[in-house]
């Protein structure tokens, strides 16, 4: 996380606790005003959550078309700041264990692999190919450029227990 995103997260948390304190104080003085303000704050946080959720779905819908795409390309295609795309990919990568696609983090970059690319990788891995052979085969059909990317994909799949031993 960059210092800017850390400060934004700190600011969001601070605003939430300040609003909670104000609501509590107003509720003690006047119950009706406190309830109205609490419901207003709830609606605002609900709307921000729904906006965030829809941006994740939109991002997934766009990037599933590509076998492999990195965060910079996603940012250009969606015309969104790179930091926003990385934050969305980070949050998606935390809950990808049961998904068919894969998000890999390598050298401060995120890579997204769709279902077909993951299945191709798994097939080559189960055939007993080493990193070099897997790279040669995947370079023909996808835009994998280095053995480090192949190794990162393998490690990510292994860590999520989605890849069995050869």
Residue 76 and residue 48 in one domain: no
Both 14 and 95 in a single domain? no
- Lowest-pLDDT range, 40-54, 101-115, 127-141? 40-54
Instruction: Give per-residue pLDDT as tens, 14-33.
Output: 988 898 899 899 889 988 98
- 50 and 130 housed in the same domain: no
**At 51, phi and psi to the nearest 5?**
-65, -45
**Are residues 126 and 70 part of one domain?**
yes
Same domain, 57 and 131: no
**Per-residue pLDDT tens for 41-99?**
889 888 887 877 777 788 888 888 888 899 999 888 888 888 888 888 888 888 888 88
Q: Name the strand (E) or helix (H) holding 37.
A: helix 31-63
Tell me which residue range forms the domain holding 45.
1-63
Shared-domain flag, residues 50 and 114: no
Tokens 């097939």 locate to 123
**Which of 45, 63, 81 delimits the end of a domain?**
63
State whether 80 and 42 are in the same domain. no
Share of the chain above pLDDT 70, in %: 96
Q: How far apart are CA 140 and CA 143, in angstroms?
A: 8
Residue from 123, 166, 164, 118 nearest 144 by CA: 118
Question: Looking at the structure, do residues 102 and 150 belong to the same domain, yes or no?
Answer: yes
User: 47, 63, 79 — which closes off a domain?
Assistant: 63
The 3-class secondary structure across 52-63, one letter per residue, is HHHHHHHHHHHH
Q: Last residue of some domain: 63, 80, 110?
A: 63
On whether both 52 and 72 belong to a single domain, the answer is no
Sign of torsion, CA 146 150 155 160? positive
**What's the number of domains the chain is made of?**
2
Check whether residue 38 and residue 76 sit in a common domain.
no
């Amino acid at each position: 996380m960059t210092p800017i995103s850390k400060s934004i997260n700190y600011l969001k948390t601070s605003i939430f606790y300040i609003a909670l304190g104000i609501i509590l104080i107003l509720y003690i003085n006047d119950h009706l005003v406190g309830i109205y303000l609490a419901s207003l704050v709830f609606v605002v946080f609900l709307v921000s959550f729904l906006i965030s959720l829809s941006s994740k779905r939109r991002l997934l819908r766009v990037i599933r078309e590509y076998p492999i795409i990195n965060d910079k390309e996603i940012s250009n295609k969606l015309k969104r700041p790179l930091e926003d795309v990385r934050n969305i990919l980070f949050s998606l990568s935390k809950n990808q264990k049961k998904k068919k696609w894969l998000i890999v983090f390598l050298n401060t970059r995120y890579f997204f692999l769709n279902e077909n690319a993951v299945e191709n990788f798994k097939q080559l891995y189960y055939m007993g190919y080493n990193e070099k052979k897997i790279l040669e085969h995947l370079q023909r059909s996808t835009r994998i450029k280095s053995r480090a990317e192949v190794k990162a994909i393998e490690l990510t799949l292994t860590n999520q227990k989605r890849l069995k031993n050869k």
